[in-house]
A and B are shown apart, each in its own frame.
Chain A
Amino acid sequence: MATNGKADTSSEEETETIISTAIETGESRDRGPTESPRTVVTARDLDVYYGQERALDGVDIEIPENRVTAIIGPSGCGKSTFLRCINRMNDGIDACRVDGELRFHGTDVYDQGIDPVALRRKIGMVFQKPNPFPKSIYDNVAYGLRVQGRAGEVDLDAAVERALRSAALWDEVKDQLDSSGLDLSGGQQQRLCIARAIAPDPEVILMDEPASALDPIATAKVEDLIDDLAEEYTVVIVTHNMQQAARISDRTAVFLTGGELVEFDDTAKVFENPDHDRVEDYITGKFG
């Protein structure tokens, strides 16, 4: 994938050309059969409040399996909130209240009987800032399998190697698995976190601006990696970088201020010919 990792977001004139380039290269990508894939996560009329403040407003979305779905929008539009709803990471915030319906394979995630811990074992997550544990690289990757009580069932060494290979980190760290995850560079740390997320073999991987703390070269590597991950996993990625969304995603959801999902369609369609003027304004940099 010929990415332009050093894209300068500040320049409006360049923006459009970069996006179109990205989309062209994106279209050359082949992601399995073209018939519409199964839906993994479905939201119906999803509202989220923080205390009195509404963070999401009636979101309807269907996230397809084995595809990269990008969520973009201006700061404070609720895109991270939506992401954290999917694996119920918002549970930790007391003031947060969720209305409406969010289904994972048809099961209501916010049903009384659902265990958020069990849910998170099916839905991995990668955060904005690389957050490896202050443990060895090996222990970082093995963490999920261990806490999920599966360390005895699987070959842990093999699972760690597989996850590190999938995260394109194996060759760089295979000789220092016992050294601390914090000794790695920022980009390596983020790939370590991705390896950590995929080691227990989840179905969905949520990524909250995974490249925003990285330099352009590390960003490019992570983007390549996301592209590969979609072969096996369903990826939902929040990004504030529109070029990135254009480069790596199959579907794009645009949230605008007020926590409203304004447009959700194929990435090429969203960037070339959006249905809504507000989305077009946002994408061309007139707004946001």
Chain B
Amino acid sequence: MSDASASPDLERSQGIERIRDRTYGGFFVVCALITVLTTIAIFLTLLSDSVAFFSEVSIADFLTGLHWSPNPTGGGSDFGAVPLFVGTLVVTATAAFVALPIGTLTAIYLSEYATPRARSILKPMLEVLAGIPTVVYGYFALVYVTPALKATLFPSISTFNALSASLMVGIMTIPMVSSISEDAMSAVPDELRQAGYGLGATKFEVSTGIVVPAAISGIASSYILAISRAIGETMVVVVAMGAQANLPAVRDGLAGIPYVHPGDVLLDPGMTMTVAMVQIAGGDLTGGSLPYDAMFALGLTLFAVTLVMNVVSDLVANRYREEY
């Protein structure tokens, strides 16, 4: 035995290993802090130029103005973002119309009906949907989906339109809905299902009457995330939807009630917030001009909306999670 002295040497040494441990620890802390710095940097970058923008254009004009025509040469430009909000809303709603039901049904199938083998094949294939670059989806919408729609259902559809872009955004977000919802459904304890079967319920009744309500917080949270993803989606709409910031025409209905024809919205070009940003970026990047600042104001809006939705989604998921 080496050292059996009465007071062993256990003091904190300043040995090599200790220095090394400390150095690497410091490095890891810096790495982790960079993730925080990223958020701060995003926020400050967006804020500084937005402040410049809102000193020229009032927030009210930006949020309620009906005309969007940023003119890079300056003078006579309009920064009313309502047409962009409408465009974003149309794409998001149409995409949600595709992704939410399909995603939910997929989640139910995967969690309740599919054999392990079917699940092991379907799940990676669904992930592929989310892994395809968005510019490729835009290309599909422009080159294949729009002509197909023109040849079959909507002969009047224009080359750039909201419908085919939205369909692609919808397909792209299916896995987001399905994977989070499936996690929530799989987390429903089996005892609840057994209780349902014990009462003589069929598998259909257990799935829709017990599992889905029990997993509703997870499902809702997945919806919010998918919608938030659709709001921020850029390349599909840039490539396939065109860039005309028009409000749809309001028609007079038969009973005198004005209405907006869905065809005017979906089959024609439109512009989302993201498209507007890309359009400005195509012309002016050096900074200092009003359109440049407008880009950051739109970015800040987008950042705020997606952040709020993400936080809400977290709250929804956490709020009901403790039930079982």
Contacts and interface: CB of A to CB of B under 8 A. Distances in A.
Interface string B174-197: 000000000000000000000000
A92 interface: no
Dominant secondary structure of chain A at its interface with chain B: loop
B1 interface: yes
A33 interface: no
Interface stretch (B8-16, B67-75, B210-218, B293-301): B8-16
B16 A149 contact: yes
Interface in A111-135: 113-115, 117-119, 122
Contacts of B15: 149
Interface in A50-97: 65
Given A149-B16, A201-B1, A201-B2, A105 B9 contact: no
Interface string B11-30: 11101111000000000000
Contacts, number: 47
Dominant secondary structure of chain B at its interface with chain A: loop
B8 to A, nearest CB: 5
A65 B8 CA distance: 14
Nearest to A120: B10
Interface in B1-54: 1-13, 15-18
A118 B11 contact: yes
Interface residues of B, number: 17
B4 A113 contact: no
A27 to B, nearest CB: 26
Contacts of B18: 115, 117
A275 interface: no
A122 B10 contact: yes
A113 B8 contact: no
A107 interface: yes
Interface in A128-152: 147, 149
Nearest to B4: A203
Contacts of B5: 105
Given A106-B6, A107-B7, A118 B1 contact: no
Nearest to B8: A105
B16 A118 contact: no
Nearest to A121: B10
A104 B1 CA distance: 16
Contacts of A118: 9-13
A232 interface: yes
A92 B180 CA distance: 33
Contacts of B17: 117, 147, 149
Contact of B10 (A65, A119, A149): A119
Contacts of A65: 4
29 contacts: A65-B4, A104-B8, A104-B10, A105-B4, A105-B5, A106-B6, A106-B7, A107-B7, A107-B8, A107-B10, A109-B10, A113-B11, A114-B10, A114-B11, A114-B12, A115-B10, A115-B12, A117-B18, A118-B10, A118-B13, A122-B3, A122-B8, A147-B17, A149-B17, A201-B1, A203-B3, A203-B4, A232-B1, A233-B1
Can you list the 10 inter-chain pairs with the closest CB atoms, starting with the nearest?
A115-B12, A114-B10, A118-B10, A105-B8, A119-B10, A201-B2, A113-B11, A107-B7, A113-B12, A107-B10
Interface of B: 1-13, 15-18
